[in-house]
Amino acid sequence: MNIQTLLLTNPLQEGAEKDQQNPSPSPLRIELATYRNQLLTAFSVADICGFEATKMALAEMLREVEEELRDVRKREQQKL
């Protein structure tokens, strides 16, 4: 997933269409989404400032958070 896609996605709503029985996200999912948004903000600042190494590190952290968000969503759907 590229950075532009990350900027356009909302991890709290991802999969909500399929998950109508439990529309509210779990506290863990909210925490991960908040952390993801903070990373995106930091990535934008690093991009503006030209800190390439920082951008690369933040991009890797974003990938890990996105993966964890997908896993949490899958676990929540399996519980239904």
* Any domain includes 19: no
* Any domain includes 2: no
Listed residue (33, 38, 36) closest to 62, CA to CA? 36
Listed residue (20, 18, 11) closest to 39, CA to CA? 11
Q: What is the pLDDT of residue 65?
A: 96
Assess contact for 68 and 9: CB atoms under 8 A: no
pLDDT 10s digits, 4-60: 565 556 655 655 555 455 568 889 999 999 999 999 999 999 999 999 999 999 999
Q: What is the pLDDT of residue 77?
A: 87
Q: How many domains does the chain have?
A: 1
* Any domain includes 35: yes
Domain range for 66 is 26-80
Residue 26 DSSP label: P
The more confidently predicted of residues 79 and 55 is: 55
